[in-house]
Amino acid sequence: MAPEPPLLSMDGITKSFPGVRALDGVDLDVQAGEVHCLLGQNGAGKSTLIKVLAGAHQPDTGTIRWLGEPVTLRSPIAAMRLGIATIYQELDLVEHLSVAENVHLGHEPTTAGFVVRGRAARASTAALLRRLGHPEIDPARPVGGLSAAQRQIVSMARALSHDVRLIVMDEPSAALDPDEVDNLFRIVGDLTADGVAVVHISHRLEEIRRIGDRVTVLKDGRAVAGGLPAKSTPTREVVALMTGRDVEYVFPARPPAAPGGPPVLQVQRLAREGEFEPLDLEVRPGEIVGLAGLVGSGRSEILETVYGARKPSAGRVLVDGRPLRPGSVRAAVRAGLGLAPEERKAQALLMLESVTRNVSVSSLSRFSRAGWIDRGAERGAARRATRELSLRPDNPAVPVRTLSGGNQQKAVLARWLLRGCRVLLLDEPTRGVDVGARAELYAVIRRLADEGLAVLLVSSEVPEVLGLADRVLVLREGRVVHTAPARELDEHRVLDLVMEGSPAS
């Protein structure tokens, strides 16, 4: 390391939220004038880290040094005073204020301390916009009328309106067209040439190669690699670091014979504008079909559209050859579909209720006559369904919130088992499930398939898809780029497909 201290160094940063350790001793150092890329899967801790950096979160332990001096970033204002500016993914601009007002929000040029000098603000904003290559944006215009790319520029101008030394950009290119991305990168180049450091978060490896100097990879709240050379580290190695696991999962054996028979679920040219392109797939009874792809590849959207929770812009879904009413969850459920959604607590569970009531909620009519619930029958059925899945504790009367993640997932599966569902849609079935419990969940899913269920599985964990599914569809940015039997694929191949989008190995 150079004799002079780095612009920023973070040592052993930890941050816990109730139930989650978001950051677990992260180290990060950033030199003046470099583009430092942060990589990691969803939930790896990137957002928490940049919020700590922006002064929005206070770390539990660890030290932050600025030019070698320990500092405490007590608030976003404190961070800004040091010269740290953050451009969030959801741009935090005030729609009804003008460009100039947004740029100077909180530090308006004033006379006598309180009279805002609007003209001065507009003039300095215009200068900043010129520097950013966008003189066409009128500083007096309300931000509400600007395009996504223009807003990005305004956010950038806001960052530069301070005496900025470090800019944090959270997926800045996500909403931009290619030539807008080019412009952004040109600006980044200008800034770094002036000695400003940039912390850049992106999923796109090619961007990291283009503008990045060094890469830090986060996984499960830890920096698994720090300061790798961005241009020369092989993709495979980066990917392996992102997904690297401590434990090999045990996957259940596939049945000897490939499942036959007519498909129970058929998806034909199903599409949602802006989310995923026309998609075809079929799932037979006893078969597990996996969708692999990164966040933003359209996986969850596809599953929810199949389920009717989102209305497709084109195409249709058939069960047993009969088309479902589009955009109707009730039609899907009636036809025998069941969804275990990605956000279990927010989308599936009634957290205040018992396991029994969570399991029975989709089958109430089975235990009721004229709306009157036979609670004995309900309890018995819920108990049988949860026993079949070995849900622990073996007492469906307990509130579902007291269950572990894996058992909560079993409660969701029991709901559909009880309903007699025939097609199970699983979105990230092991999210929030600890490693030990995963194998058991995999076994349950395989057994349900062996008993004749058709399963459509979505996961960002490639080994999970490969280990569990019979057939795999690889998605990249809303498009299926490859389809193959799981045994013909391996993790690196899938990751190459997912990240680069080229089928060549």
Partner 1 sequence: MTQHMSPPRDGTPRTAAGPAPAWRSLAARTDVRTLSLLGVLAALILIGSITKPDQFLDTRNLQLVLTQASVIGVVTVGMTFVIVSGGIDLSVGAIVALASVWATTVATQEYGFAGILFTAVVVGVGCGLVNGVLIAYGGMVPFIATLAMLASARGLALEITDGRTQIVTVQGILDLGERDSYVLGVPPLVLVFAAVTVIGWLVLNRTTFGRRTVAVGGNAEAARLAGIDVRRQRLHLYLLSGLCCGIAAFLLIVLSGSGQNTNGNLYELDAIAAAIIGGTLLSGGRGTITGSVLGVLIFTTITNIFALNNLQSDVQQIAKGAIIVAAVLVQRRTASTT
Q: List residues binding partner 1 (CB under 8 A).
A: 307, 309, 329-330, 332-334, 339, 341, 346-354, 356-357, 360-362, 364-365, 368, 371-373, 375, 379, 393-395, 397-399, 402-403, 415, 419
Measured distance CA(384)–CA(356) in Å, rounded:
10
- For the chain, the distance separating the N- and C-terminal CA atoms, rounded to the nearest angstrom, is 36
Beta carbons of 203 and 501 less than 8 angstroms apart? no
In the bound complex, what is the minimum distance in angstroms from residue 365's beta carbon to partner 1?
7
Tell me which amino acid residue 242 is. M
Please say which residue, 154 or 303, places its beta carbon nearer to partner 1: 303
Measured distance CA(338)–CA(422) in Å, rounded:
8
Please say which residue, 248 or 374, places its beta carbon nearer to partner 1: 374
Please say which residue, 227 or 341, places its beta carbon nearer to partner 1: 341
- Map tokens 């009880």 to a residue: 418
In the bound complex, what is the minimum distance in angstroms from residue 305's beta carbon to partner 1?
13
Please say which residue, 166 or 456, places its beta carbon nearer to partner 1: 456
Q: Residue ranges of the alpha helices (H) in 18-117?
A: 46-53, 76-82, 99-103
In the bound complex, what is the minimum distance in angstroms from residue 234's beta carbon to partner 1?
41
Closest CA to 34 of 220, 205, 165: 165
In the bound complex, what is the minimum distance in angstroms from residue 407's beta carbon to partner 1?
10
Please say which residue, 339 or 468, places its beta carbon nearer to partner 1: 339
Phi-psi region of 458 (alpha: psi -120 to 50; beta: other; left: phi over 0): beta
Residues with Cβ within 8 Å of 105's Cβ and at least 6 positions away in sequence, in order, are: 94, 97, 158
Beta carbons of 128 and 103 less than 8 angstroms apart? yes
In the bound complex, what is the minimum distance in angstroms from residue 368's beta carbon to partner 1?
5
Please say which residue, 50 or 391, places its beta carbon nearer to partner 1: 391
In the bound complex, what is the minimum distance in angstroms from residue 353's beta carbon to partner 1?
6
Please say which residue, 304 or 464, places its beta carbon nearer to partner 1: 304
In the bound complex, what is the minimum distance in angstroms from residue 265's beta carbon to partner 1?
17
Measured distance CA(15)–CA(35) in Å, rounded:
25
Please say which residue, 329 or 437, places its beta carbon nearer to partner 1: 329
Longest Cα–Cα distance in the chain: 82
Beta carbons of 282 and 288 less than 8 angstroms apart? no
Judge residue 120's burial from the number of C-beta atoms within 10 Å of its C-beta, 0-12 exposed, 13-18 middle, 19 or more buried: middle
Beta carbons of 306 and 267 less than 8 angstroms apart? yes
In the bound complex, what is the minimum distance in angstroms from residue 94's beta carbon to partner 1?
23
- Map tokens 């404190």 to a residue: 78
Q: Which value, in Å, is the radius of gyration of the alpha carbons in the chain?
A: 26
Please say which residue, 155 or 408, places its beta carbon nearer to partner 1: 408
In the bound complex, what is the minimum distance in angstroms from residue 495's beta carbon to partner 1?
30
Closest CA to 421 of 302, 311, 329: 329
In the bound complex, what is the minimum distance in angstroms from residue 439's beta carbon to partner 1?
22
Beta carbons of 212 and 218 less than 8 angstroms apart? no
In the bound complex, what is the minimum distance in angstroms from residue 330's beta carbon to partner 1?
6
Please say which residue, 97 or 329, places its beta carbon nearer to partner 1: 329
Distance of CA 149 to the CA centre of its chain: 22
Please say which residue, 14 or 347, places its beta carbon nearer to partner 1: 347
Tell me which amino acid residue 115 is. V
In the bound complex, what is the minimum distance in angstroms from residue 362's beta carbon to partner 1?
5
Beta carbons of 168 and 54 less than 8 angstroms apart? yes
Please say which residue, 114 or 372, places its beta carbon nearer to partner 1: 372
At CB < 8 A and 24+ separation, what contacts does 103-110 make?
103/128, 103/139, 103/154, 103/157, 103/158, 103/161, 104/158, 104/161, 105/158, 106/77, 107/161, 107/162
- Map tokens 């009804």 to a residue: 96
Please say which residue, 160 or 403, places its beta carbon nearer to partner 1: 403
Residues with Cβ within 8 Å of 70's Cβ and at least 6 positions away in sequence, in order, are: 63, 64
In the bound complex, what is the minimum distance in angstroms from residue 376's beta carbon to partner 1?
11
Does residue 393 have a cis bond before it (omega within 30 degrees)? yes
